[in-house]
Structure 1
């Protein structure tokens, strides 16, 4: 199964934002729209797209795309 990239999911979450795919570690706050509530919704979008669940501790620690990618890799997913 092919999954969308994290940057693609970020573009879906924030369709009006200018998202640079060359920045591998975009983080909460890097986009004006990316606040804590939007981040929670972004993590839920990732869960749906990848068929995984983040526990509450993970959610509190995952602040950027590199950390999210590492967490997905630890769950056995190739992104």
Structure 2
């Protein structure tokens, strides 16, 4: 899989997890930009992302990331490891 596929695959997971989200996908978006993205939904999203990419995302690392771009960075780092 190409590094360039990560944002598109992330967006697909995000849209499945939050079907009410109809806005444009940006790496600068935060949970506040997505209807229904609360702490429980965040944990579920992380598990969905782990399944999609075959990686493990440490919860403490994900909690410190301010935006989607940061999560995408973690995914890329974990895939490269």
TM-score normalised over the length of structure 1: 0.78
**1:31-70 residue pairs with structure 2 within 5 A?**
31-70=34-73
**Whose helix fraction is larger, Structure 1's or Structure 2's?**
2
> Does the residue aligned with 1:10 lie in a helix, a strand or coil?
helix
**Partner Cα distance (1:62, 1:41) in 2:** 16
Distance 1:46 1:63, change over 3 A: farther
* Runs of 5+ consecutive residues of structure 2 not aligned to the other structure: none
Specify every segment of 5 or more residues in structure 1 that has no aligned partner in the other structure, as ranges: none
Structure 1 distance, partners of 2:46, 2:23, is 17
Regions of 4+ moved over 2 Å: 1-4
Alignment length, in residue pairs? Answer: 76
